[in-house]
Structure 1
Amino acid sequence: MALQYLVTIDCARPEALASFWRSLLGYADKGAPDGFESRGEYLRSLGLTQEEIDSGAHAVDPDGILPRIYFQQVPEEKVVKNRVHLDIVVVPDGADEATTWAALRSAAQRAIDIGATHLNDSDDPEDPFVVLADPEGNEFCLV
């Protein structure tokens, strides 16, 4: 049996980074349970302080199929290249080179418009991708 997993990203500003990733991926915030107006209200009902509530944020696939992402506040800044990164699939299967690069450039521009930084483009025609960084410097690829 395959195991389910979620991805946890260490960061300085969880809600801001979660907002970027929600926008990029078409994800949503983790909603409040029935009977609560907001997730914050729910967490306060459990006795969490505002500081504790602000120390984490979620991005969830609205269809409940793809992995959830949790953004966890940590005191230290990112100092080296990621050991793990996300590859975001934006190119349709079987696309020709022109269609591939058009899809990659369009998706890269959209990511830049919401706060990403362009780092690099692949120069391998067999393996095209674009490397970007999120607003806190975490690298990811568009493939």
Structure 2
Amino acid sequence: MATPWTITVDCADARLLAEFWSAALGYAPAPPPTGFETWEAWMIHHEVPADEWGDVAAISDPDGAGPRISFLRVDEPRTVKNRLHPDLQVSGGRHLPAELRGERLAAEARRLCALGARVVEEHRSPGSPHVDHLWMADPEGNDFCIV
């Protein structure tokens, strides 16, 4: 049996990253835990100080297929390249013409940049003028790729 899992992202601004990744992935704010009407009720029950309520945010796949993602405010800034990063599969796959995949990547890059991301580097297929994938950074500089 597989172990249930989630992803937690350390960050400076939990709400900012939750909003970015929610829009990027088509996720929604995560519902409060079972037995609680709101996250506020959960935090009060667990005696979380009110000044820490903005230190965490969570999003989830509305269809239940993808993992839940939590964002946790930490004091330390990101200092090195992520060793683990998400690849957003937006081009349709290598079975499609490279030109079409490149157009889809460019459109998604524009959308994500409008949300606060930035392109770090374009990677082209060997011997091709077309972009194969893009290395990007979210609003806090965390690495991800669109492929």
Q: Is TM (by shorter chain) over 0.5?
A: yes
Rounded to whole Å, the distance in 1 between the matches of 2:72 and 2:17 is 10
Question: What is the identity, as a one-letter code, of the residue corresponding to 2:139?
Answer: P
| Matches for 1:66-81 after TM superposition, within 5 Å | 66-81=66-81
TM-score, structure 1 as length reference = 0.90
Rounded to whole Å, the distance in 2 between the matches of 1:92 and 1:3 is 29
Identity score, percent: 34
Question: What is the identity, as a one-letter code, of the residue corresponding to 1:4?
Answer: P
Superposition RMSD on alpha carbons, in Å?
1.8
Rounded to whole Å, the distance in 2 between the matches of 1:123 and 1:91 is 13
Give yes or no for the alignment of 1:142 onto 2:134.
Answer: no
Q: 1:99 to 1:71 in 2, by over 3 A?
A: same
Rounded to whole Å, the distance in 1 between the matches of 2:36 and 2:109 is 40
Q: Contact 1:30–1:39 (CA<8 Å) still a contact in 2?
A: no
Number of the residue aligned with 1:51: 51
How far residue 46 of structure 1 moved from its aligned partner, in angstroms, is: 3.0
Count of aligned residue pairs for this structure pair: 142
Number of the residue aligned with 1:105: 106
How far residue 67 of structure 1 moved from its aligned partner, in angstroms, is: 1.1
Deviations 1:89-125 (A, max 9, x none): 1011321111100110011100000000111110225
How far residue 7 of structure 1 moved from its aligned partner, in angstroms, is: 1.2
What SS does the aligned partner of 1:101 have? helix
Q: Contact 2:134–2:145 (CA<8 Å) still a contact in 1?
A: yes
Rounded to whole Å, the distance in 1 between the matches of 2:99 and 2:36 is 51
Q: Contact 2:30–2:68 (CA<8 Å) still a contact in 1?
A: no
Q: Contact 1:118–1:131 (CA<8 Å) still a contact in 2?
A: yes
What SS does the aligned partner of 1:48 have? coil
Give yes or no for the alignment of 1:128 onto 2:132.
Answer: yes
Q: Contact 1:60–1:69 (CA<8 Å) still a contact in 2?
A: yes
How far residue 47 of structure 1 moved from its aligned partner, in angstroms, is: 2.1
How far residue 66 of structure 1 moved from its aligned partner, in angstroms, is: 0.6
Number of the residue aligned with 2:84: 84
Q: Contact 1:7–1:67 (CA<8 Å) still a contact in 2?
A: yes
Deviations 1:47-103 (A, max 9, x none): 222233221111110111111111111101111111111101101132111110011
Rounded to whole Å, the distance in 1 between the matches of 2:40 and 2:109 is 33
Between stretches 45-54 and 78-87, larger displacement belongs to: 45-54
Question: What is the identity, as a one-letter code, of the residue corresponding to 1:74?
Answer: V
Over 4 Å off, 4+ runs? none
Question: What is the identity, as a one-letter code, of the residue corresponding to 1:47?
Answer: E
